[in-house]
Amino acid sequence: MRIATWNINSAKARQARLIEWLDRAGPDVVCLQETKLSDDAFLELFDEDLFRRGYRVAHHGDGRWNGVAILSRGSLDDVVRGLPGGPGFPDPEPRAIAATCDGVRVWSLYVPNGRTVDDPHYAYKLSWLAALRDVVAAEVTRGPLMTLGDFNIAPTDADVWDVAQFEGATHVTPAERAALGELVDAGLVDVLRTRWPDDVVYTYWDYRQLCFPKNFGMRIDLTLASADVADRVRAVWVDRAARKGTGTSDHAPVIVDLDVAPDGDVGPMVPPPSSRGSTGRASGGRSSSATGDSLRRR
């Protein structure tokens, strides 16, 4: 089974890119984030294309800045829209959706950004992650589980091209990383980092200042799995081809193959970045102010 996650950064704007990617990558289960569509609008836009490709659809959105979805070519059972017990800002936002897909409980997640450390959105982010931890702690005891999506947290300094550029900004603070650590400690495995412990791997690159060709990125899109699912992983990688060209999201999909690896054990980023971009986290590129502006928009 091939399971993927992708922050699409507006499903309407990426409609052609998404359909092309589905045909090329052939995922069995897809978790989407930041669709920015209502449930009715998503179905109206994609229903025929997805039906012809054999996908069932569960979507949770209100047509504004969030929106999450799960697509499945197998079963799509026991759908839950929203994060049980989660806080609102001020009302609950469409940032989480779950379904059972061929025996695996799958969550598609768009964790709040946090904006700045002194913004109420930062406290909201930490409370939201605490509620997610409680949900995971309960569900991991019931069977195979995966939580996938845009977590808006770089787990370690190795997951940021130059952590000095983020000094004082969200996504790398000790409190966020501790909250993520508590989530993992509830019974999950970071399957990409487990497979590629020492490699430079990113999933997000700002649109500005040539960050993508320079490989000035962050790994904030995560694939976390219970141990029984992690044991089934045969390949996991970032599909950089989907970030290339025009009209792309600023995120790339992350793909996990369970049980079999149709394309072999490829990775960690396919195709790999240029040697210049992968040699380290050099200074330069986007400035601290540019980084802050980008994160506040998310």
- Is 55 annotated as catalytic? no
Q: Residues 95, 5, 78, 143: is their CA dihedral positive or negative?
A: negative
Structure tokens at 200: 């430079």
d(CA 50, CA 72): 10
What's the token pair of residue 270?
């396919």
Task: Give the number of other Cβ atoms within 10 Å of residue 119's Cβ.
Answer: 14
Is residue 7 marked as binding? yes
Contact 162, 124 (CB under 8 A): no
Q: Which residues of 6-40 are buried (b: 16+ CB within 10 A; e: fewer)?
A: bbbbebeebeebbeebbeebebbbbbbbbbbbbbe
Scan for tokens 């695996």, then name that residue: 104
**Which residue in this structure is represented by tokens 């790999």?**
272
Locate all alpha helices (DSSP H) within the chain, ordered by sequence.
Answer: 15-25, 39-52, 120-139, 174-185, 191-195, 211-214, 227-230, 288-297
Please check if 150 is assigned to a binding site. Answer: yes
Identify whether 60 is a catalytic site residue.
no
Q: How far is CA 246 from CA 13, 158, 241, in A?
A: 11, 28, 11
Asked if residue 20 belongs to a known ligand binding site, the reply is no
Q: Is 206 a catalytic residue?
A: no
Contact (Cβ atoms closer than 8 angstroms) between residue 106 and residue 70: yes
Question: Hey, what are 33's tokens?
Answer: 């984030």
Q: How many CA atoms lie within 13 A of 82 on its CB side?
A: 9
| Catalytic residue, candidates 28, 60, 251, 257 | 251
Is 60 annotated as ligand-binding? no
Residue 250 is assigned to a ligand binding site: yes
Choosing from 55, 110, 122, 204, the catalytic residue is: 110
Residue at token pair 């450390």: 117
Which one of 150, 159, 190, 206 is the catalytic residue? 150
- Binding annotation for Mg(2+): 7, 34, 150, 152, 250-251
* Positions at the binding site: 7, 34, 150, 152, 250-251
The residues annotated as belonging to the active site are 110, 150, 251
